[in-house]
Chains A and B, each alone.
Chain A
Amino acid sequence: MTSLTTFYLSRLLGCNIFDTRDNILGRIRDVYVRIHTSLDDNQSSNPQVIGFVVHVNGKNKDAVLDSLQIVKFGIHYKVQCQSMTLVSHGMFSGAFLLKESILDQQIVDINGRKLVRVNDIRMVAISAGTFVVAVDVGTEGLLRRLGVNMFFKRLLQPFGGNIPSKFILWDDVETIDPNTFNIQLSQTRSKLNTIHPSDLADIIEDMSKNYQAPIFSSLDEEHAADVLEELRVKEQVHIIESLPLGKAADVLEKMPANEAADLMDHLEDDKTEQLLLEMEPEASEEVRDLLEYPDGTIGSLMTSEILTFTAEQTIADVMEHIRVEKPEMESLYSLFVVDANNVLKGIITMRDLLVTDPQMHLEKVMNTNLNSVNDYDRLDAISGIVSKYNLLAVPVTNDHDELEGMVVIDDIFDELLGKKRAS
């Protein structure tokens, strides 16, 4: 007779519990776990078992089982405990149920960056208590649940084959069910913040729509804006419509104005208006301008977040300005020189900034061979210019040659690949 230190949740569920005198106390239906707030960073935050749902006399009751252990007699297992104490329902607030909210549900595999379904849960019983160690997402877990695991193992053994098993440590998963998620979130920062926005966007697209907005809300604002940008239009609209107005406006402000305008083009007019009013005036003004442009024109794709300078400024002035403002990468693709009337005079590239003497005036450095496009031109016009002149960004001017913004190569790529329109 040995007692198991590690075991699977499926081994516990549906099992009779015996006391030391071999009386049946009830049947285990579910397991309550709680994640402790750890003051010491090195301490693991694995969920600890704090109670059970036990089926007693035809009813499900919350209970605490004293010194529970799984004992192995030969090939049979028995779940034993010293004593069982039934407790009131509110006892386990702040805890969640393993079977109800983890087993058979989808969770995010943080390292694999995708959604996986939990086939079983691996647990460990040590002196400090019983903890969840890992989730089983492999075929072996499925077969174990069906009760045919050993059969297949023996079947494959003579051929040297084995059943693929796959475990993910608890540290590397994140639940997505809103209830459980909120409980966890009250203790720790969402692990999803560590996933690259593009990957996280793919994961969110795969989720049930009811999970999308809560998951999205849990992200840090900057991260949220990056993720929103990467989502398909359908999901963008759904999330913006599901978020509270203030939160939605905050995220939209963090997005590049052209992306925000694209998104708002797909919302209802009333909703767009509400959001624009809620946003910071500066951000909403830019978006409003871009919204004026019909679909398929250069203006609808352009960004108005550009850096402009005058011909009299020096390279050093420009560098200083960039250091202070810390603009996004995209804004640095091309820098523009304009006159007092905002008419485009020249273009400075990043290379110019790096190789030129800092004291040089911009008028000496700038490229005056201007390949600009008009903001009401059709989009088809632009790809030719980009590939012909090997540009990272093309300036956009209006009918009076005033600089309105620029179109960057990333957005042209997206447009050409039809990524944003794919549904």
Chain B
Amino acid sequence: MTIKKVTNSKFIKSIGLFLAILGPGIITGSVDNDAGGITTYSVAGAMYGYNLIWTLIPSFLVLLVVQEMNARMGIVSGKGLATLIRENAGVKITFFIFLGLLLADIGNTTTEFAGVAGSLEVFGVSKYISVPLVGFIVWILVVKGTYTVAERIFLIFSVSLLTYVVSAVLGHPQWAEIGHAIVKPDIKADGATITMVLGLVGTTIAPWMQFYMQSSVIEKKLKISQYNYVLADIIIGCIGTVVVAFFIIVACASTLHGNHIVINEAKDAALALKPLAGAFASQLFAFGLFIASIFSATILPLATAFYVCEAFGFDAGISKKWGEAQEFYTLYTAIIIISVAIILLPNAPLISISIWSQVINAILLPVVLICMILLVNNKKIMGKHVNKPIINIIGWATVVILVGLSLMLLVSSFI
């Protein structure tokens, strides 16, 4: 038994355990910086320079708290978030949440395919070729059941998100200014800024991610005794998310903002970087965008179809055949087809789609968070692992702030 001899050392054993548990937090963290995320960070950097970087600090805190709750709920209850909501809140609330989730995710998936189209246009590939092709590849990956392999490949590729560090450095950022802007940002509290801040928080903590996080923890069959490793995994994932976001903002802020270049999409950022930071920086930026988009375009429709089916009691899962899980595959295919079709429409209102799916996200997030906080404090479900007061304070504060900001945004967008 050679393997067992090697693991006799306690230290190596812990490392081995950690590597085995590693995944849920880090994957969720990577998927977090999807096409929508990169777009929002780029636009924020280009419009506000370094002045919105501070938002990453509360975002990090909330992301950490939310994901920790998800992981704990998953480990203790062994049930997915969709199941817990359905079993405890009944059909009506579940229906509302999942209708919202479905709409928002179709919008988000469209944004992912827009990211695929945009990033490949930087390399001179027409969207009429790239989008149907990528859509088909993504679809076949799941239907043919090679998804798990794909997920691992994507995870390795997601290291390429670190290319944003290079892109940022090539733009010669002013580090002293960044430090100053974090401590003392120069912003006005007008409608546009609130929208941007909400967008930044909303893209970092998307509602569907909570469902995804909890399911991956369950999939790994983790035990409460492994909690510390899980927490480490989440912390690494959250730090990764925020670091990448930081460098995207810096890359755009130090080049585009100084030259007063206005951008609407992540692709614009990649193109605009070319004269300012060189073709290499531009291509790296586009490559990162491509990987992030395709990764999320695979996970997002799959996850959405899965949670909807989980909540309403339809058979679901990639290990099942088409005939065994008809609703699941139909839904999955429909989401991809609708998203691809929207991108291919000439003059598709991509920017409004992206804004509206973010608005739905922003409305949905507090609802999901409230459900989560109520569930995680339910002794029948969580036993002695209910929330500590500090986590509840952060959770409820987040809900209040998000609801406040969302209301302000809704009001300001209608007047």
Q: Indicate the member of A118, A208, A234 with the most B CB atoms within 10 Å.
A: A208
Q: Does B258 contact A (CB under 8 A)?
A: no
A209 to B315, CA, bound (A): 18
Q: Is the CB of A145 within 8 A of B218?
A: no
Question: Which A248-307 residues have C-beta < 8 A from chain B?
Answer: 269, 291-292, 294-295
Q: Is the CB of A146 within 8 A of B77?
A: no
Kindly identify which residue among A145, A238, A269 contacts B91, using a CB–CB cutoff of 8 Å.
A145
Q: Write the B325-336 contact mask toward A (1 if CB under 8 angstroms, else 0).
A: 000000000000
Instruction: Give the distance to chain A from B65, nearest Cβ to Cβ, in Å.
Output: 24
Main secondary structure of the interface of B (DSSP, over half): helix
Q: Is the CB of B315 within 8 A of A238?
A: no
Question: Given A104-B86, A105-B87, do A208 and B92 touch, yes or no (CB 8 Å)?
Answer: no
In the complex, the chain A residue whose C-beta lies closest to that of B1 is A294
Size of interface on B: residues with Cβ below 8 Å to A: 19
Question: Which A130-153 residues have C-beta < 8 A from chain B?
Answer: 137, 142, 145-146
Q: Is the CB of A117 within 8 A of B91?
A: no
Kindly identify which residue among B4, B78, B87 contacts A211, using a CB–CB cutoff of 8 Å.
B78
Main secondary structure of the interface of A (DSSP, over half): mixed
Instruction: Give the distance to chain A from B319, nearest Cβ to Cβ, in Å.
Output: 9
Q: Is the CB of B91 within 8 A of A208?
A: no
Q: Is the CB of A208 within 8 A of B83?
A: yes
Question: Which A187-215 residues have C-beta < 8 A from chain B?
Answer: 208-211
Kindly identify which residue among A117, A137, A209, A234 contacts B86, using a CB–CB cutoff of 8 Å.
A117
Kindly identify which residue among B1, B3, B87, B315 contacts A104, using a CB–CB cutoff of 8 Å.
B87
Contacts of B83 in A (CB 8 A): 106, 208
Question: Given A104-B86, A208-B83, A238-B221, do A119 and B78 touch, yes or no (CB 8 Å)?
Answer: no
Question: Which B60-96 residues have C-beta < 8 A from chain A?
Answer: 77-79, 83, 86-87, 90-92, 95
Q: Does A116 contact B (CB under 8 A)?
A: yes
A104 to B79, CA, bound (A): 14
Contacts of A238 in B (CB 8 A): 221
Contacts of A208 in B (CB 8 A): 77-79, 83, 218
Instruction: Give the distance to chain A from B383, nearest Cβ to Cβ, in Å.
Output: 10
In the complex, the chain B residue whose C-beta lies closest to that of A116 is B313
A145 to B313, CA, bound (A): 14
A-B contact count (CB 8 A): 46
Question: Given A119-B313, A208-B77, A208-B78, do A142 and B91 touch, yes or no (CB 8 Å)?
Answer: yes
Q: Is the CB of B91 within 8 A of A104?
A: yes
Question: Which B221-268 residues have C-beta < 8 A from chain A?
Answer: 221
Instruction: Give the distance to chain B from A374, nearest Cβ to Cβ, in Å.
Output: 19
Instruction: Give the distance to chain A from B271, nearest Cβ to Cβ, in Å.
Output: 43
Q: Write the A208-252 contact mask toward B (1 if CB under 8 angstroms, else 0).
A: 111100000000000000000000001100100000000000000
A341 to B78, CA, bound (A): 53
Contacts of B315 in A (CB 8 A): 114
Q: Write the B277-290 contact mask toward A (1 if CB under 8 angstroms, else 0).
A: 00000000000000
A326 to B2, CA, bound (A): 38
Q: Is the CB of A146 within 8 A of B95?
A: yes
Q: Does B312 contact A (CB under 8 A)?
A: yes
Instruction: Give the distance to chain A from B167, nearest Cβ to Cβ, in Å.
Output: 37
In the complex, the chain B residue whose C-beta lies closest to that of A291 is B1
In the complex, the chain A residue whose C-beta lies closest to that of B80 is A208
Question: Given A104-B91, A145-B92, A210-B77, do A137 and B313 touch, yes or no (CB 8 Å)?
Answer: yes
A142 to B77, CA, bound (A): 25
Question: Given A146-B91, A294-B1, do A209 and B78 touch, yes or no (CB 8 Å)?
Answer: yes
Contacts of A117 in B (CB 8 A): 86, 312-313
In the complex, the chain A residue whose C-beta lies closest to that of B8 is A269
Kindly identify which residue among A114, A142, A209, A269 contacts B221, using a CB–CB cutoff of 8 Å.
A209
A176 to B411, CA, bound (A): 47
A295 to B3, CA, bound (A): 10
Contacts of B79 in A (CB 8 A): 208, 210
Instruction: Give the distance to chain B from A258, nearest Cβ to Cβ, in Å.
Output: 16
Question: Given A116-B313, A294-B2, do A146 and B221 touch, yes or no (CB 8 Å)?
Answer: no
Known: A145-B92, A208-B77. 5 other contacts (CB 8 A): A104-B90, A142-B91, A208-B78, A211-B78, A294-B1
Question: Can you name 8 A-B residue pairings with CB atoms under 8 Å?
Answer: A104-B91, A137-B313, A145-B92, A146-B92, A146-B95, A208-B79, A291-B1, A294-B1
Q: Which residues of B contact A (CB under 8 A)?
A: 1-4, 77-79, 83, 86-87, 90-92, 95, 218, 221, 312-313, 315
Q: Which residues of A contact B (CB under 8 A)?
A: 104-106, 114, 116-119, 137, 142, 145-146, 208-211, 234-235, 238, 269, 291-292, 294-295
8 interchain residue pairs of minimum CB distance: A117-B313, A209-B78, A208-B78, A145-B91, A210-B78, A208-B79, A104-B87, A234-B221
